[in-house]
Structure formats: structure tokens, C-alpha cells
A and B are shown apart, each in its own frame.
Chain A
């Protein structure tokens, strides 16, 4: 087994650096270009997109609204404008298609912060971790929805690091840097994948939104898995992998259906055996990608 401080060393050796990082790089390109689109206006005077992730207007035509923020607003007793409702419908349909937590891995700027923390954690070999249930985020989500009901105001949005980082970059940070540094240090020293994987109510919301979403990671060639554990090392939600990857004998289909899979594709990158690929939930048959029935009831041997 290769050095665990370099994720996917096997993959880099067999597939080359680019192939072992392509989804990661695509995600960074996606995150940064979304930011760049919003920054193009204030920095260069080219107004393609206005607003921020809470609500935006593209080319004075396409409204997009964050459903979690709008839901808080509605719970505080607001009837939104038609543009906000249209924006929310478009966003919901999009994430139903591509996967709810695609927001987390392909859009959210905090992902770059917490990914860096996780990377540094591996590099420094920090093992000690406080315990925190992954379900905490759903309690947090509940909290963000109860607070506007009780107070009539968007209390969570005063603190939300997700909206604050993006808005900060586009409109001015103020002291929000401190909050982001806090998230970084929390993930680095206190709880592994603490913010995105356990606490963030925005991610929790999008995971619920994406429970039935179409595009999924598929462990299509799971019989090729050589148990190198690289995917478990890099996966920010590693509890989603095992049931599927090791589920062939239990009759579990090859599609990772867990709502908290962020579709980040990092497992595809780091797998030297090309076990994973992008697919849809509708193809969750006990058949591998090459079309051969995998669930033939026989014991599978790992390919050399």
C-alpha cells in the first residue's frame, strides 16, 4: 500500500497525474469560475451575473435562488416575488438532476477551505479527532428553520459561513475571514471533515434535496477493488462507499445511492483499478459496466 499522505499514489503511478486528479481539477475549475463570473461585474465591469449564491440574476434573464435561504425567509413569513420562485424551481430541478450535494463539491467556496484542511490533516498525519455524529447537520438544519419561525428573522444567515464566504469575496469580507479560518482550524484539528461532513446545515439541506437525484457515482467494476483504501482516505463522506463497494454479495446494486455522496468524483480519481464512474441511479442493476452480470452468486476473485 502506498504512502497515505499522498492520496491515490497508486492511481498516479498507473493512470498518470492528470487522470488521477481530473475530477478534482474540474471541480476547482467549476468553483473558481462561478466565483469569477460573480466577480467579473464588480472587478471588470462585465455584468454577466449579479448578486450572490443566495439569489442571483444572470444576463437580466435567468434568476437563481438558493432554496435553503428562501425557505428560511418563507418561514419567517415572507411571500417571495415571482423571480425568486422561478429561481428556486430552476435550482431544485438542477440539483434533482445532478445530485443535491453537487452544490457542496462543485459550487460551494467553503469546500476549497475544508478540502485544504483535510489535505493538510493527511499531510501532517493528524489522527486525533473529537467525535461528532454525522447526523448533527440535520439537527443544525432543523435549527436554521426553527429560528426564523420563532424570531421572524434569518438568524442563521448572520453566521452562515457558506453564504458569508461567497458574499464576502464578491461584496467585501469584513471580519468574515475569522469565521472561515475558524472552519478551517475546526476541520484541521478538532473534527475530521467536521464542517462539511457533520455540521453544515446547507449541505444537509442539499443532501435531502438530492435524495432522489439522478446522477450518481457508480461502483461499476467493484469486483476489481483491491482494498487499497485510497477512496476511503479521500472521500469526505466515506460512510457512503462501503455499503455499495462491498455490497455485491449482499445484493446491493453498484450505484451509490446515499444522499450524502457529494458526487465530487475524487474516488474515481484515486482508484487505480477504475472501480468508480459517473452514472445514473436508474441503472442500479447487478451488472457491471462491461455488461456482464456481476451478481452470479459466485465468489469473485480480485483481478491481478
Chain B
């Protein structure tokens, strides 16, 4: 019944000690490597699993969340689950699926309040500032609004109605006489709560919540949109162009705003335009 695995108090010599220590260190080290690499895979979050409001960016979240499930317990609508071993969501971390259980956007955000580690950022006090993901109208080919039918369900269930999803009217080319009422998502207001995805009347929702990093494009950092810069500065940031001067004969000018060549009337009567545009351009040159 001796504790042979222990070795303590049995007169271990240096050689035994070193080999034992090395054996253990190697074993544990290898295991750590295995765990680390497997963890990389195990931590990839499927696009349809949405983190609760205020969740830190995924990488930080996985370090901060201690898998206690207090957010799950304090959700009054019981939408959150913890990932289980074998799930595609990292074990023990909270998530919800928008299509079945969207976030109801409680004003007091109890899940965030419950979080003991700030994995759900306590700086989030207004639920409208939450960015759980972003609704994307992924399939215009099946969305019935794009077929010219009246639906607007996603627009109507949206908790930030009119701001996160607005309706844009567009001419229905097919029928020629109707309007199409197209739901358009605005990322500056959409919280990614998923109520629209749940409400979508299709078999498979045409509007879906995606993680923001999948849903959003991003302009290169060096890009400047001239008109926006101008708006911000209140004036053009570059030296305004010198107005182009056409070398035109007297009584003729060129309008840059689309009217094109304008022949000033001699007296009050406009001169009738010649049918050949070349004649029109060359007008006045005959006399030279």
C-alpha cells in the first residue's frame, strides 16, 4: 500500500528527481500545447450564435467570461444558453439564436448587470447602444418586399422602428404602376437584437443577424469622401478650381450644370437652334 507515485520521503536521488520532473513537465507541456491548439478551434464562434448585449469583442470576451451563467439566469425572457461540450459555441459561454430567441432589449439590461467580470461591459447603460450584431437583408431574391408584395413585418417589429430599419419606396418596374416598400437596415441604429430575424415570415429568414465584423465593410483608412469633408469643414478643403473658361463667341456660354451650350438671345428672341449639332457649335464662326 505504499504510495509509489509520490516518491516523497523515500530517499529520491537526484537522477530520479530530475527524470521524474522532466517526465511530468514534458507531459504537461505537450498537453498544454494540445489544449491550446484545440482551444483555437473550439473558440470559433458560429455566425448564428449571438453574444448577449455589451459582450466584449470575441477575443477579449473569451478571456473575461468565467462561464458562471449569471447572465443566463437573469435574462427575464430566458433566451440565453451556455455552450455545452460538443456544441460549436465555446464551452460554458452564453449565446442566443436570433431566429428562435431574439433579445427583447430590456431597458435595465439585467444580463449585463449580473456579469461579475465585465465580459458584458458594464459601461453599456442604454440598450439602444448595444451592438450584438447587425441585421442584414441577406436575400433580396426571396424577401417578398423586393417582389413588390406588402410585408414590412421586420420594419414593424423593430424596437427602434424607422431608425434601425426604414422603408424606402421604389418604383415597381415589374407592374409598372406600384411601389415597392423595401426594408433598409441602418448600422448606426441597429443593435442586432434579432427581433426582425425572428419575425421574418419566410421559411428561412431573408433578414439575419450577422456578427458585425462579418456584416460590415470598411473603407480604407486613407479614404476621404470629399463632400463629407467639405460638410465638416464648412468649406472646400482644396483651393477651388478656377472656373473653366470656354473660348466661346459672344452671346454663347456653356452651362456646367447640364444645360450645355446656351446661346444668349440677341435682343429678346432666342435664335432657333439648327438641327445639326455641329452647326450649332460652329455657329458664329462663319463670320470670321
Chain B residue nearest in CB terms to A129: B5
A37 to B31, CA, bound (A): 35
- A173 in complex: contacting residue of B36, B38, B84, CB < 8 Å: B84
Given the contacts A83-B116, A143-B31, A239-B6, A154 and B84 also touching, CB distance less than 8 Å: no
A296 within 8 A of B: no
Q: B22-57 CB contact bits vs A (8 Å, 1 = yes)?
A: 011101110110011011101100000000000000
Given contacts A51-B70, A57-B114, A229-B1, whether A154 and B63 have CB atoms under 8 Å apart is: yes
Q: Quick check: A153 and B116 within 8 Å, CB to CB?
A: no
B253 proximal to A (CB < 8 A): no
Cα(A159)–Cα(B66), bound, Å: 13
Shortest CB-to-CB span from B283 to chain A, Å, is 75
Determine whether the beta carbon of A79 is less than 8 Å from that of B118: yes
B74 contacts A by Cβ under 8 Å: yes
Size bracket of the A interface:
35 or more
Residues of B within 8 A of A55 (CB): 66, 68, 70, 116-117
* A contact residues around B115 at 8 Å (CB): 81
Residue of B nearest to A139 (CB): B28
A154 touches B62 (CB 8 A): yes
Q: A65-B116, A153-B59 are in contact. Are A168 and B84 (CB under 8 A)?
A: yes
Does residue B163 face the partner (Cβ distance < 8 Å to A)?
no
The residues of B that contact A92 with a CB separation of less than 8 Å are none
A35–B83 Cα distance when bound, in Å, is 20
Residues of B within 8 A of A139 (CB): 24-25, 28
Q: Are B85 and A135 in contact (CB under 8 A)?
A: no
Is A222 among interface residues, defined by CB-CB distance under 8 A? no
In angstroms, Cα B32 to Cα A173, docked, is 24
CA distance A51 to B67 in the complex (A): 9
With known contacts A150-B36, A158-B91, A179–B68 Cβ distance under 8 A: no
Which of chain A's residues have a CB closer than 8 A to the CB of B72? Answer: 171
What sequence of 0s and 1s flags, for each residue 137-148 of chain A, a beta carbon within 8 Å of any chain B beta carbon? 001101100111
- Interface check B176, CB cutoff 8 A: no
Interface bits A153-170 vs B (CB < 8 Å: 1, else 0): 111111100011001101
- Measured between beta carbons, the chain A residues less than 8 angstroms from B36 are 147, 150-151, 155
Asked whether A152 lies within 8 Å of B59 as measured between CB atoms, the reply is yes
The answer on a CB contact under 8 Å between B43 and A136 is no
Q: Shortest Cβ distance from A270 into chain B, in angstroms?
A: 14
- Bound together, the chains give a CA A136 to CA B83 distance in angstroms of 29
* Alpha-carbon gap, A41 to B73, bound state (A): 9
Contact partner of A233 (CB less than 8 A), chosen from B1, B5, B38, is B1
Digitize B68-83: 1 where CB-to-A-CB distance is under 8 Å, 0 elsewhere.
1110111000000111
Residues of chain B with a CB closer than 8 A to A63's CB? 116
Residues of B near A170 (CB, < 8 A) are 69
Residue of A nearest to B116 (CB): A84
A52 at the interface (CB under 8 A from B): yes
Q: Which of A70-78, A97-105, A213-221, A284-292 contacts B (4 or more CB under 8 A)?
A: A70-78
Q: Determine if B4 and A54 form an interchain contact, defined as CB atoms under 8 angstroms apart.
A: no
The 8 Å CB contact of B24, one of A87, A133, A150, A155, is A133
The CA-CA distance from A167 to B59 in the complex, in Å, is 22
Q: Using known A-B contacts A135-B24, A157-B92, determine if residue A78 contacts B118 with beta carbons closer than 8 Å.
A: yes
Give the residue name and chain of the A residue nearest to B94 (CB): A171
Supposing A69-B66, A147-B36 touch, asked if A81 and B24 sit within 8 A by C-beta, the answer is: no
User: Is B174's CB within 8 Å of the partner chain A?
Assistant: no
Whether B39 contacts A78 by the Cβ 8 Å rule is no
Whether A176 lies near B84 (C-beta < 8 A) is: yes
- B58, chain A: closest CB distance, angstroms: 10
Going nearest first, the 7 A-B pairs with the smallest beta carbon separation are A174-B84, A76-B63, A175-B86, A55-B68, A84-B116, A153-B62, A50-B73
16 A–B pairs (Cβ distance < 8 Å), ordered by A: A54-B67, A55-B117, A133-B20, A133-B23, A133-B24, A136-B27, A139-B28, A154-B62, A157-B91, A167-B92, A171-B84, A173-B84, A176-B91, A198-B5, A233-B1, A239-B3
